Amino acid sequence: MRRILLIVQKEFIQIWRDKTMKPLLIAMPIIQLAILSYTADFTVKNINLFVQDQDHSALSQKLIDKIGASDNFNLQAVSPVYNDGFNQIQKNNIDVILSIPEHFSRDFNSGRKTALFIAADAINSTKAGISMNYLQNIIKNFGEEQAVEKGFSGLNPGIIVSKRNWYNPNLNYKFFMVPGIMTLLVTMIALFLSGMNIVREKEIGTIEQLNVTPIKKYQFIIGKLLPFLIIGLFEFTIGLAVALLWFRVPFLGSIGLIYLFTAVYLVLILGIGMFISTITDTQQQALFLSWFFSVIFILMSGLFTPIESMPVWAQKITLFNPIRYYVEVIRLVMLKGSAFSSIKLNFLIISVAAVVVNLLAMLNYRKTA
Amino acid sequence: MIAIQNISKSYGDVKALNSISFRVEKGQLFGLIGPDGSGKTSLFRILTSLLKPTSGKATVAGFNTVTDYKDIRKIVGYMPERFSLYMDLTVEENLKFFATVFNTTIRENYHLIEEIYQMLEPFKNRRAGDLSGGMKQKLALSCALIHKPEILLLDEPTTGVDPVSRKDFWDILKKLQKSGITTLVSTPFMDDAELCDEVALVQKGEILKMDTPQNLANGFPHKLWKIVSENNYRTLKVLDEFETKISAFSFGNSVHLATGDDVDEQAIVNHLKQHNVKLISIAIIKAHIEDVFMDLMSHEKGSS
């Protein structure tokens, strides 16, 4: 016990004296949360729109005004020539073209069917899809409004769908992203700190001196793990504070539960880092391996893309991804107020994995070559 | 205290140690002398149980280095070749750390390190990374001594240390010896060798010769001349053509020439004169341990 505390104390002194590390540990969670939460936004804004108006009627002008008034679209130009717009797409100035046909107003007012045409720059397929969707919605609304105004009862749909978004009524993407980014933060810090640590002692040569002492493997690993566990929880606290106080993310669940899960999760991630540390000889190798794992873990975590929309084989791989379980839990507990009973499977999986990985790291750490 | 029997260590095809055997008696100061890459560090790592030998057996204080490594780690003080204390901890913190690791305190064994630590005391709040080479060495020795080891294993402790600190260091080793500590030390410096009780000359993983420094020097089998001239390099070249030469090496500002017993001074002087070497002095000298080593090495080269 005394030896474990000794190593913990040593690690803290070393981190405290590290001129780069100390400010980084405080600044990193704040910067990451602040920047990523604003940028990782899936709503599409500032879509540059070109309208080919071949009708030049009051009705077409009304439609153009309505689209122009939306937050999502910037009306760049209106012209009767389609190719004016297409040339601008090629120059990357225009994202979407809306083409209003001749006799649009005449056909509509006489109750006949009329067709509009939308073309989008689909290099970014997500953005194109979302843009077209927005535009269709606006046009559909417009059509309904005009039909009501003109008394065309036939156009009114018989079924009225009303919507309610549970747990995030205004579909505030930040409520969804901020907890996700917190998990990313905790994971990165824990993985990199522990991944680089033992290997650093190898590189500097201090491990050579340590290995001839009677320190036991478990004392060494636990002594290394504890300081990072404390730092990880500290980082999580900063992240949580930013999420609650700045982004006003609702917190419905239990604080204790979320800290308990985070602690167990940290032990797992630190164990992975320790394991990386034991199989590498230089900090460079450890860095590459840590990056390799964190990129896969992050992209396959359900943080940015829903796991349900991944191919089945990829979904199976995500079962081995610790971030997946953590993201799930943190969103459930924070936004939905879930209790332990609804996250106990995740808790069990992460706990077992934490024990296994740390045992592996301990067995793999050799004092003798 | 240390018994090494037919120890070999290979790294793939490279043989670092080739069936080495020797013993270090209790209280001895034993020197391993050899150039870089002669296998000294591998031997130290085997003795400290950090490395398993490919074949052979070694015991330290009766403990087998492979099976009883836990016991060995309690009684051995090891100073690796590379400075391996925490650069970002202070002198005092490093010492305290290693004392605590061994379940002891600085105070308990202060008498062992007192003399060294007094030299370090003015810098005790300085970080180890900011110390000079000599001070680092002293700190490393203090840390290796703080748990009162029976055996000290010092791998090239004086490499990269200035001559004054080197002398201090050897004075300390001598004093430690008097207090009963057995020491195995490696060094590439021949003048360090003279301070040991017994030395083994190592080259390419093999022991060329082992004896007291005195006996080694006395056992030099040739006549040895010290030749001082205006140009060492030219003298060496010219001596290449001297038929009765056995070996010739540059030693500082002179050349040491080994010849058979029948060669006389006049023959050498004449040879040098013929080749326009301006001779300043020539004299027969007593061999130094370095001469023995150079001589042995040149045979090695000749045979391989």
User: Which structure tokens are listed for B233?
Assistant: 């390099």
3-state secondary structure of A119: strand
Give the per-residue pLDDT at A226.
93
Question: Mind telling me how many Å the CA of A329 is from chain B's nearest CA?
Answer: 39
What is the spatial distance between Cα B24 and Cα B199, in angstroms, rounded to a whole number? 10
Of A3, A17, A18, the CB nearest to B101: A3
Question: Mind telling me how many Å the CA of A18 is from chain B's nearest CA?
Answer: 8
Residues of A in contact with B44 (CB under 8 A): none
Residues of A in contact with B141 (CB under 8 A): none
Is A205–B84 a contact, with Cβ atoms under 8 angstroms apart? yes
Residues of A in contact with B73 (CB under 8 A): 212-214
A21 close to B (CB below 8 A):
no
Is A205–B83 a contact, with Cβ atoms under 8 angstroms apart? yes
pLDDT grade for A162, boundaries at 50, 70 and 90: low
Is B88–A18 a contact, with Cβ atoms under 8 angstroms apart? yes
- Show the DSSP H helices in chain B as ranges: 40-47, 69-75, 91-101, 110-120, 133-145, 163-178, 190-193, 213-218, 232-239, 265-274, 289-303
What is the spatial distance between Cα A362 and Cα A219, in angstroms, rounded to a whole number? 10
User: Which structure tokens are listed for B73?
Assistant: 């780690």
Is B89–A367 a contact, with Cβ atoms under 8 angstroms apart? no
Q: Which pLDDT tens digit goes with each residue over B15-34?
A: 899 999 999 999 999 999 98
* Nearest one of B176, B217, B175 to B193, comparing CA atoms: B217
* Nearest one of A186, A210, A184, A238 to A11, comparing CA atoms: A210
What is the spatial distance between Cα A322 and Cα A297, in angstroms, rounded to a whole number? 7
Q: What is the set of domains in chain B, with CATH numbers?
A: 2-217 (3.40.50.300), 221-286 (3.30.70.100)
Is A208–B50 a contact, with Cβ atoms under 8 angstroms apart? yes
Of B76, B97, B127, the CB nearest to A212: B76
User: Which structure tokens are listed for A74?
Assistant: 């910037």
Whether the predicted pLDDT of B167 surpasses 70: yes
Residue A117 DSSP symbol: E
Mutate to test the interface with B, among A8, A20, A212 (most CBs of B within 10 A): A212
Is B51–A18 a contact, with Cβ atoms under 8 angstroms apart? no
Whether the predicted pLDDT of A156 surpasses 50: no
Count CB pairs under 8 A between chains A and B.
71
Give the per-residue pLDDT at A171.
63
Closest chain A residue to B71 measured between Cα atoms? Answer: A214
What is the spatial distance between Cα A276 and Cα A361, in angstroms, rounded to a whole number? 8
User: Which structure tokens are listed for A86?
Assistant: 């297409």
Q: Which pLDDT tens digit goes with each residue over B84-106?
A: 899 999 999 999 999 999 999 99
A18 close to B (CB below 8 A):
yes
Question: Mind telling me how many Å the CA of A357 is from chain B's nearest CA?
Answer: 25
Q: Which pLDDT tens digit goes with each residue over A312-350?
A: 998 999 999 999 999 999 989 998 888 999 999 999 999
User: In chain B, what percentage of residues exceed pLDDT 70?
Assistant: 98
Asked whether the beta carbons of A266 and A186 are under 8 A apart, the reply is yes
Listed ranges A81-85, A139-143, A193-197, B87-91; the one with the highest mean pLDDT: B87-91
What is the spatial distance between Cα B80 and Cα B156, in angstroms, rounded to a whole number? 8
Give the per-residue pLDDT at A169.
67
Whether the predicted pLDDT of B38 surpasses 90: no
ipTM over 0.85: no
Residues of A in contact with B45 (CB under 8 A): 369
Is B84–A18 a contact, with Cβ atoms under 8 angstroms apart? no
Output B41-45 pairs: Cβ under 8 A, ≥24 positions apart: B41/B81, B41/B155, B41/B156, B41/B186, B42/B9, B42/B16, B42/B17, B42/B205, B43/B4, B43/B7, B43/B9, B43/B17, B43/B186, B44/B78, B44/B80, B44/B81, B44/B153, B44/B155, B44/B184, B44/B186, B45/A369
* Nearest one of A352, A344, A319 to A257, comparing CA atoms: A344
From the DSSP assignment, how many helices (H) and strands (E) are in chain B? 11, 14
Give the per-residue pLDDT at A46.
86
Q: What is the set of domains in chain A, with CATH numbers?
A: 2-40+169-364 (no CATH), 47-155 (3.40.1710.10)
User: In chain A, what percentage of residues exceed pLDDT 90?
Assistant: 31
Q: Which pLDDT tens digit goes with each residue over B183-227?
A: 999 998 888 888 999 999 998 899 988 999 889 888 888 888 899
Place of tokens 């029997």: B5
What are the distances in angstroms from CA A58 to CA A53, A107, A347, B172, B226? 11, 13, 62, 103, 115
Of B48, B76, B93, the CB nearest to A13: B93
Count of alpha carbons within 13 Å of A140, Cβ hemisphere only?
Answer: 8
Whether the predicted pLDDT of B304 surpasses 50: no
pLDDT grade for A158, boundaries at 50, 70 and 90: very low
Asked whether the beta carbons of B46 and B16 are under 8 A apart, the reply is no
Give the per-residue pLDDT at B182.
95
Give the per-residue pLDDT at A157.
46
Is B100–A17 a contact, with Cβ atoms under 8 angstroms apart? no
